């Protein structure tokens, strides 16, 4: 039976303050840092093992914070983390996550640098302007990938701008390089609800555009079988409370539009259980914020009510 929700564990990420600090400490231990027992190594091992035990479908690793000044550091570290996921992930494949193609390529190659049988990894992400650099690797290495839908021309692209990007990536991946539709995960970026207000009158919310993009892509018969993924934690950023509840509501609402994968804290099991009705109503209001004054006012009223209730609870 096809799985309804694909969960990518987000916990091994250098931008998470505590995790990033421990990653730094581990890297500073010298040549044997990733093989000799230490408290930092045990911490990372536990992150990997716990996510596998909780049911992660992929374990993501992002080290971009280390490559901002010296990109080669992130490349070298990614090789080490790939080996750790392969060793301690109990068979769960890695999601190599980076904005640097060199890191993605190094991680992909290292995943297969073994005599052991390993499952197909996920590469995050491929963009229109990087696909000719990454997709040809399919001829040597079996992998699935996240196609990040980013417009070079607009900071707030419309559904009609994002959809052709998906078609372009899909046609290239399937038609030229032999990817199966089920090996493609599209991502149009999840925006925080707390600041998801239109910059200009009549403009839809980012949430509306994301959800409508999902629906348009998933309803295209030519692209049948593709997945849609997003960094779910982003939706609850800067909210005053009930963040896990908001994330669960967001997942359940997004699944109605066709999203079937998420980059998440695995322990939250966001696709399970029923979301709180009032939080589902709030997310739904942002999903329907189509640029009309009526929809805008409804979403703003519900957000105000939500924030007031959170302050009252914590006060």
Could you report the per-residue pLDDT of 208-251, keeping only the tens digit for each?
999 999 999 999 999 999 999 999 999 999 999 999 999 999 99
pLDDT in tens, 89-127: 999 999 999 999 999 999 999 999 999 999 999 999 999
User: What pTM value is reported for the model?
Assistant: 0.96
Q: Which CATH number fits domain 6-314: 3.20.20.70, 3.40.50.1950, 3.20.20.20, 2.40.30.60?
A: 3.20.20.20
pLDDT, averaged across the chain:
96
Residue 117: partners with Cβ closer than 8 Å, 6 or more residues away: none
- Residue 18: the pLDDT is 98
Q: From edge to edge, which strands make up the β-sheet containing 6-13?
A: 227-228, 184-187, 144-148, 122-126, 94-97, 58-62, 6-13, 261-264
Helix axes 206-218, 243-257, angle to 10 degrees: 40
- Residue 314: the pLDDT is 58
Least confident among 16-25, 90-99, 156-165, 175-184: 156-165
Q: How far apart are CA 24 and CA 75, in angstroms?
A: 14
Please report which confidence band the pLDDT of residue 75 belongs to, taking 50, 70 and 90 as the band edges: very high
- Residue 149: the pLDDT is 96
Please report which confidence band the pLDDT of residue 152 belongs to, taking 50, 70 and 90 as the band edges: confident
Helix axes 243-257, 277-287, angle to 10 degrees: 50
Burial 256-267 (b: 16+ CB within 10 A, else e): ebbbbbbbbbbe
Question: Closest Cα partner for 145 from 112, 108, 102?
Answer: 108
Output DSSP code: residue 92. Answer: P
% of the chain beyond a pLDDT of 90: 92
Q: How far apart are CA 214 and CA 154, in angstroms?
A: 19
């Amino acid at each position: 039976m096809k799985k309804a929700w694909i969960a990518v564990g987000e916990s091994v990420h250098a931008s998470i303050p505590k995790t990033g600090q421990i990653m730094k400490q581990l890297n500073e231990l010298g040549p044997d840092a990733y093989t000799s027992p230490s408290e930092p190594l045990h911490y990372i091992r536990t992150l990997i093992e716990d996510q596998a035990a909780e049911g992660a479908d992929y374990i993501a690793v992002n080290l971009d914070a280390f490559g901002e000044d010296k990109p080669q550091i992130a490349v070298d570290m990614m090789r080490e983390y790939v080996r750790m996921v392969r060793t301690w992930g109990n068979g769960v494949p890695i999601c190599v996550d980076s904005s640097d193609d060199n890191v993605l390529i190094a991680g992909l190659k290292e995943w297969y640098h073994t005599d052991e049988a390993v499952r197909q990894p996920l590469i995050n992400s491929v963009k229109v302007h990087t696909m000719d650099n990454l997709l040809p690797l399919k001829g040597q290495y079996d992998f699935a990938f996240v196609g990040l839908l980013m417009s070079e021309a607009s900071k707030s692209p419309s559904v009609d701008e994002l959809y052709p990007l998906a078609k372009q990536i899909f046609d290239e991946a399937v038609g030229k390089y032999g990817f199966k539709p089920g090996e493609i995960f599209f991502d149009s970026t999840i925006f925080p609800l707390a600041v998801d207000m239109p910059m200009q009158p009549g403009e839809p919310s980012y949430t509306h555009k994301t959800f409508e993009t999902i629906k348009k892509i998933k309803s295209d018969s030519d692209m049948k079988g593709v997945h849609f993924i997003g960094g779910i934690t982003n939706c609850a950023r800067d909210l005053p409370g009930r963040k896990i509840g908001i994330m669960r509501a967001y997942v359940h609402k997004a699944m109605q539009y066709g999203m079937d994968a998420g980059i998440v804290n695995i322990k939250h099991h966001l696709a399970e259980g029923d979301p709180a009705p009032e939080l589902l109503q709030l997310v739904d209001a942002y999903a329907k914020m189509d640029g009309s004054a009526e929809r805008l006012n409804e979403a703003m009223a519900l957000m105000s009510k939500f924030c007031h209730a959170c302050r009252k609870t914590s006060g």
